[in-house]
Structure 1
Amino acid sequence: MRVMLIVNPFATATTPAGRDALAHTLSSRFSLDVEHTTHRGHAGELARRAVAEGVDVVLVHGGDGSVNEAVNGILGPPDQVPDPSRTVPGLGVIPGGSANVFARTLGILADPLAATGQIIGLLESGQCRRIGLGHTQDRWFLFNTGMGMDAVVVHAMEDKRHAGKPATPARYFRTTVASFLRNATNKASFTVEVPDHEPIPGVQFGFVSNTSPWTYFGDYEIRTNPTTGFDTRLGLFAATSTGVARNLPLAARLLTHRTPKGGHLYRDDDVEWVRFRADEPIDVQMDGDYIGAHVAVDFGHRADALAVVAPGADSLSTTLTTT
């Protein structure tokens, strides 16, 4: 089995010694190519090369952004008609970022060396599972995307990381609170459209999820769409207010794992598509990466889009040769 290991050496939780140890362990079991990313988008470039060279599995040691890039490189644009004769690699993740939402949601162990052993066991048994993915017209997303407040927070955190500040849970919390307080009177809004429902105007922040949890606060799961999963369609969480008084009770429900609800909230855990429409550009994030300000974004879903090396129910298990 030929494996390409894509390593982001700048990821939060990677170290030179750790990277060498897991590469050594993998190379003792498989034909291994090790590639280090050097710039944004590089993981996608390497994954496209892996497809062209007939690599069986792409392993990513990095954060959610690197994994997102690799998946987009493996699958190509969502609006591209799939070639039935094209064999694509399976994907495995060895956590290396600060949040590792995708890996944790798949049931991958948090420690990179432990995760490597787990991945080896799954690869040697030839097992993977197929999962559905969300997408826009030109890009796939793995676990969530959003317009408005969460993108504002992601944008602020990226600025802090670029300034040399680590992305800790405490810093995320402080940045989230500060962003809500700063934007409590911001009137920028957008309209959300979903199938079989009247348009929802005046939305000030909206999340589209491909699975649950939406994110983690340290080790704590935040579930905006509790029954959305890799085997359902998309989850939508759209709020028409950023006011502190209206969102504190909602935040309390999220933090205590109660069903999210509120008079200013529209939620659906299984929709076929979602459209966001704004009169002026509003910040958008995808899988924890800020992707700019947009006035229109369409989100869709494709079942069984990707084979992932991960533990799963027998009904979802398949071999790595599945395309």
Structure 2
Amino acid sequence: MLIVNPFATSTTEAGRDALLHTLSASLRRPEDGAGEMAETKRSGARPQYVDVRVEHTTHRGHAGELAALARAERYDVVVVHGGDGSVNEVVNGLLDPPSVPESGMPSPALAVVPGGSANVFARALGIDPDPLKATGQLVDLLATGQRRRVSLGHTNNRWFLFNAGVGVDAQVVKSIDEQRTAGHRATATRYLWTAVRTFMGAARSKPTLTVTIPGREPLGGAHFAFVSNASPWTYLGTRPIETNPDTSFDSRLGVFASTSMAPIRNLPLARQLLSSKAKPHAKHLLRADDVASVEIRSSEPIDMQMDGEYLGTRTVLEFGCRPAVLEVISPKS
């Protein structure tokens, strides 16, 4: 099944047609007729290629509904063409919620053809950010049977792929959403200036967060906290931003929290985050990698985002992770 978000930032009708044509032509069996396309359903050790079933999302949550249908109908692979928000929806449709014991019911493998503005999950897996190049890469990966299993983080009974955060990053996401609603494109420059403006505006705000990691003293007086399931945390154009460079899809969670919003203290930290050999450190910073769980409490409702999607305000969030829970079509490392 191919799930397409036609409203994603970098998708076009021509690009979607090219994607479908490439997949259908490349995955067709030699004996298939010229007009047939390829769809994969679960069958033993290797998939059998038949017709590609294409579904376009029409509303929020629709990608998750389609993914759940693909699982119920025992598809072998679900390809999603959209941004990180669409991929998050698909994953939460493919898998049981974190609070539900594993049922043993198999889930389709996930493949991603980037279609958003950042495409953090796909790029962190080694998928080319260009949709046409990624399509060719996907065909090769399917042909050679390259798959791997990755860990996922979870909170609020929902899976997240690469990051979740409370505070300033969620405020940036909220502002970008409002700007997109007003008709502005979500470019790297817009993200940068929105982040700078939001950070400066929050410089005098009071801290409300307490961050607790098992085996450590709780950190009070934090202004914001990020929880990572992979590295990088995000991208600024082509440049990766790494808050927890030692966190990966094969490890547990990374935590990054700050007790200061003062620009003079955070400018050196910003330079570290942009470094190609990032190892962020500062006296006002908590950074931990490979942690099994983390609890974040706020004395008042605070903005929250997950995989670049604004989810409103929260006062308590408990984060955990589950190893090797999702099968993906990607390079093996």
Q: Given the two structures, how large is their TM-score scaled by the length of structure 1?
A: 0.94
TM-superposed CA distance for 1:12, in Å, is: 0.8
TM-superposed CA distance for 1:27, in Å, is: 2.1
5+ residue gaps, structure 2: 28-37, 40-51
Report Cα offsets for 1:87-145 as digits up to 9, x if no partner.
11000000000000000000001221111111111112222000001001410000000
Structure 2 CA distance for aligned equivalents of residues 189 and 252 of structure 1: 26
Is residue 2:66 matched to residue 1:43? Answer: no
RMSD, aligned α-carbons: 0.9
**Higher RCO (CA < 8 A, seq sep 6+):** 1
Is residue 2:4 matched to residue 1:10? Answer: no
Give the one of 296, 305, 324 matched to 1:276.
296
Report Cα offsets for 1:220-262 as digits up to 9, x if no partner.
0111001100011000001011111111111011112331011
Report Cα offsets for 1:15-49 as digits up to 9, x if no partner.
10110111122123122110000111110010000
Of all paired residues, the percent bearing the same amino acid is: 58
Q: Give 2:332's aligned residue.
A: 312
| Residue correspondence of structure 1 range 161-240 to structure 2 within 5 A | 161-240=180-259
Structure 2 CA distance for aligned equivalents of residues 242 and 157 of structure 1: 21
Is residue 2:286 matched to residue 1:289? Answer: no
Mean Cα deviation higher: 283-292 or 255-264: 255-264
Report Cα offsets for 1:186-244 as digits up to 9, x if no partner.
11421001010011101101100001011111000111001100011000001011111
Q: Give 1:319's aligned residue.
A: none
Structure 2 CA distance for aligned equivalents of residues 62 and 224 of structure 1: 25
SS in 2 for 1:82: coil
SS in 1 for 2:53: strand
Give the one of 159, 175, 182 matched to 1:140.
159
For the 8 Å contact 1:236–1:268, the answer to whether it is kept is yes
Give the one of 273, 277, 287 matched to 1:267.
287
SS in 1 for 2:280: coil
5+ residue gaps, structure 1: 314-323
Number of equivalences? 309
Structure 2 CA distance for aligned equivalents of residues 221 and 126 of structure 1: 28
For the 8 Å contact 2:4–2:82, the answer to whether it is kept is yes
The residue identity in structure 1 corresponding to 2:173 is V
Structure 2 CA distance for aligned equivalents of residues 258 and 309 of structure 1: 28
For the 8 Å contact 2:207–2:259, the answer to whether it is kept is no
Is residue 2:18 matched to residue 1:21? Answer: yes
Q: Give 2:273's aligned residue.
A: 254
SS in 1 for 2:10: coil
| Residue correspondence of structure 1 range 49-68 to structure 2 within 5 A | 49-68=69-88
Q: Give 2:95's aligned residue.
A: 75
Bigger Rg, structure 1 or 2: 2
Structure 1 CA distance for aligned equivalents of residues 278 and 232 of structure 2: 13
Structure 1 CA distance for aligned equivalents of residues 206 and 21 of structure 2: 54
TM-superposed CA distance for 1:5, in Å, is: 0.5
Q: Given the two structures, how large is their TM-score scaled by the length of structure 2?
A: 0.91
SS in 2 for 1:153: helix
For the 8 Å contact 1:131–1:306, the answer to whether it is kept is yes
For the 8 Å contact 1:77–1:137, the answer to whether it is kept is no
For the 8 Å contact 1:214–1:222, the answer to whether it is kept is yes
Structure 2 CA distance for aligned equivalents of residues 101 and 10 of structure 1: 18
Structure 1 CA distance for aligned equivalents of residues 74 and 278 of structure 2: 46
SS in 1 for 2:251: coil
SS in 1 for 2:289: strand
SS in 2 for 1:21: helix
Structure 1 CA distance for aligned equivalents of residues 321 and 203 of structure 2: 32
SS in 2 for 1:198: coil
Structure 1 CA distance for aligned equivalents of residues 278 and 326 of structure 2: 31
